[in-house]
Each structure stands twice: as C-alpha cells, then as structure tokens.
Amino acid sequence: MSTFASQFTKQAQRMTRDLRHRRLIRTALRNYEVVRDQRRAAFQDWPAARQAAAETKWEAINHLDRHLVEFADQLAARGTKVHWASTGTQARDIILGIVREKKARSIIKSKAMTSEEIHLNEALEQAGFEVVESDLGEFIVQLRHEPPYHIVFPAMHLTRGEISELFARELKSAPTNEPEELTMIARRVLRKKYITADIGITGANFAVAETGMISITENEGNARLTAALPKVMISLLGIEKILPRLEDLALFLPMLAVSGTGQPLTCYNTLYGGPRQPGEADGPEEFHVVLLDNRRTELLADAEQRDALHCIRCGACLNVCPIFRNVGGYTYGTTYSGPIGSVITPHLRGLQDWKHLSAASSLCGACTETCPVKIDLHHHLLQNRRNAARQKPSFFERLAHRAFAVIANRPALWSIGKKLGRLAQPLQRLIQGTVLDPARAWTKTRDLPPLAKESFKDWWRKRS
C-alpha cells in the first residue's frame, strides 16, 4: 500500500536525479540570498528587528483569545460579517453558503494559501462555480491544474518557454519568450474576469487586532482589484495571522518583503477594514471574514512548538533549505512545504501519516538562522522525530524488538546469532538491494557494514 511516506521517498529519489529541475530551482533562487542580505543591511539592526518581531508574535499568539475577539469586534462594528470555522469543511461550507446566497456565477481570487489548505477551489468548482486565480503565478499553475509549487513563488519550477506553450494551448495566444508579453496575455484575460466576477476571495498577510483590519501585501495589484471590483469580498485567513497593533506593520511589512522576495517593500500594501462606507467611492458592498482554525489551536496547546504559529509565510526557510532545493515543492505532498511545512503538517494533518517529513532535513539549521521571526525550525523537526518515536510502534516493529530482546538477553542465542550473521552476510551482499534482500529498506539508502570477523569477547578470551 502506498503511504504518504513511500510517495515522498519515491518522488524525492526521482527529483534528486532530475538535474534539469535542480538547475531550474537553483537559477530561480540564484540571487535571492545576495539581494536579501543587501536589504537586511538597510535595517538599522537586523538581529534586533528579528528579536522584536519574535516578541510581537509571541505576544499575539500567547494572547490569541483576546486579540481575536478584539479583531472580530472591530470588524463587526464597521459592518463586516465575521465567521469562525473550526475545520476546513466548515470554512468551505461557509464560503459556499455565501456564494450560493449571492447567486454568484463567477469568482475571482487572489493568492491565499489557506484556500489551498482547505481545497476551496475544488469545492467551488464541484458546486458549479467558475473560480479564476488572479495572481500571475497562481493563474499559471491553475491552468496546469497544479497546486502552488512554493508558498511565495507558485510557478518557480516553470520556464518562460513552458509558460508560453501553456498560454498558447489554453489561451490561444501567440508563442513568446518575453516575460512582459506573457504578463500582458494573462492581464488581458484577467481584466475581463475582474469586471464580470460577482465575488472576490482573498487571503490576508496580517490581521490587525487593534483596528480590526486585514493587511494584504502584493506586487501585481491583483488583490486590490479582487477586493475592489466585485460587490462581495470574502477574506479567508488562519487565526495565527494576528498582530496586536497597527504600528506593528511598520516592522512586519518590510520584514516580510525582505525575507520573501528580497524587496525593501512589496509594491502594493493595502488595509481592509470593512465594506464600503457611506461617501466612499469604491470597495465591496459586503465584506465577510472567515477565521480558520483547522487544528491551529491544537498547535497552540503545544507549549514546545507553539512558536510555529509565528510564521509569516515569507518562504525564506524554503529558499535556503538544501532539501527543498533538491527535492522541490511538490515532493512534500502538502500545502506547506519546506522546513515550516515539515514542522506544522504533522500537527495540522496528523503525526502518524506525516512523521516522515521530520526526516526531510539535514538539520543544518539554515532555516532557523534565516527565519525573520526566529522560529526554532530545526529543533522542532527533532522534537517531531522524538514525538514520532514515542508513538505506539507498529506490529512488525514490536515483533522485531521482542525478538531482539529475547536474543540479546541470552548469551548463547546471541553467540549463535552472530555466527549465523557472519555466515549469511556474503549471501546478503549478493542479493543486496533486490527483492530477495530482507534488509532492502535499509540497504537501499545505507551500507550494512560487514560484521567483524571476530567478536570482542572472542578476542578477549584468546588474549587471556
């Protein structure tokens, strides 16, 4: 039976051998660290800024109950409908309910990883609604019927040529290798969709408790159009997006831009505080905010790893991770990939099925070192390994351990076992890695060292 772990192993083996893919990812991230470091240098004191950001998120997450209520009350006071969703299913049902009530036909969407997490597009399409992604990278992967490859760069695994072929096939455009022309092709399609969409769905980068506003940061202006043109706006966000004060954005907006893309600040930074108010020229007539838990409160209850909720989804830990750079985003099989994905997925989707992700790390600590909010990522991976080891072992593991205990506790049996092992080892070497090798799960990726010709006990006995 194929498990998530075996799929991961197979895909990782395939991708690490795919030199073209590795070259593409290296090229895409070629200048990332240089530019990021230049931008960091523009901060008066980057380590102090990281410390301040970590403390602000600590305050936000450790007083989440208070901040969330404040956020929701402020939004509701300006006419926003606030919905609480415990699970992904509930969030989908809430959004489907709004879409049906409004008798919407088409929906435009800006980038939202939470919507990927709850498979919102699939649910809306199955219910007969047209959903169009407006972020260029998301638009591209949607045309390919793929999820985003990376939380910040959804189409980083594709070349211009591949995108041109895709557009020619799906949008009947003329082939081109020019990024500007490719962008204009997508732009022409998307402009019409904004105008005809009945509902705009967005995510959020931050949720400001003090003022009851959501902050969206982007480079294309697509989220602004998604929010401004349709009559109804829905924002779906995880409850961990909270920041206590408006002034916190002065630190978090540049920090997110520097860590995410190496920009001093993203091009468009917008705050949304409710539906259009009397006298305002634009904005949605109706504004819904869906606050998603989806097991985040279980992570909140884990004092050891609670700081994983501090994540601002900048993607920096993915960019520097040697595992991500070799196996790529799709290998993880999860919405959130790379080090942060390996830390939180076992919490969000179950340790039993996703414990293998804790081993998808060299524990080099590059992720922890780069994280702007100082999440101790590589130690959390170790803690997940420990937690997995504490789980009830499988039937075969129990059997193997019992058999080992019986033999190891009886010197005579141990001695026979050693002799048999030495006799069997030449045969094992012949069949190593084949289906006949009982130790192939081990020997596929590691050496089984030869047993010593003579045990220490025998050697000692001879000496004396």
Interacting residue ranges for ligand SF4, rule: CB under 6 A: 259, 311-317, 340, 370-373, 375, 377
CB of 311 to ligand SF4, least distance (A): 3
Instruction: Identify whether the C-beta of residue 360 lies closer than 8 Å to the C-beta of residue 342.
Output: yes
Nearer to ligand SF4, 333 or 338 (CB): 338
Nearer to ligand SF4, 56 or 370 (CB): 370
Considering only CA atoms, which of 205, 389, 207, 381 is closest in space to residue 305? Answer: 381
Q: How far apart are the C-alpha atoms of 81 and 83, rounded to whole Å?
A: 7
Nearer to ligand SF4, 156 or 312 (CB): 312
Distances (CA, A) of 222 to 110, 166, 369, 406: 7, 21, 32, 66
CB of 217 to ligand SF4, least distance (A): 14
Nearer to ligand SF4, 274 or 372 (CB): 372
Instruction: Identify whether the C-beta of residue 58 lies closer than 8 Å to the C-beta of residue 265.
Output: no
Q: How far apart are the C-alpha atoms of 177 and 160, rounded to whole Å?
A: 6
CB of 164 to ligand SF4, least distance (A): 30
The token pair that represents 398 in the structure block:
């129990």
Nearer to ligand SF4, 186 or 317 (CB): 317
- CA atoms 235, 239, 245, 247: torsion sign: negative
CB of 152 to ligand SF4, least distance (A): 8
| Alpha carbon distance, N-terminus to C-terminus of the chain | 54
DSSP SS3 for 213: strand
Nearer to ligand SF4, 212 or 372 (CB): 372
CB of 24 to ligand SF4, least distance (A): 21
Instruction: Identify whether the C-beta of residue 344 lies closer than 8 Å to the C-beta of residue 380.
Output: no
Number of CB atoms found within 10 A of residue 329's CB: 24
Considering only CA atoms, which of 156, 98, 138 is closest in space to residue 318? Answer: 156
Nearer to ligand SF4, 289 or 316 (CB): 316
CB of 171 to ligand SF4, least distance (A): 32
Nearer to ligand SF4, 227 or 256 (CB): 256
Considering only the C-alpha atoms of the chain, give the largest distance between any 2 of them, rounded to a whole number of Å: 100
Residue 270 sits at φ, ψ, to 5 deg, of -125, 145
CB of 310 to ligand SF4, least distance (A): 7
DSSP string, 130-169: EEEE-SHHHHHHHHTT---SSSS-TTTT--HHHHHHHHHH
CB of 84 to ligand SF4, least distance (A): 24
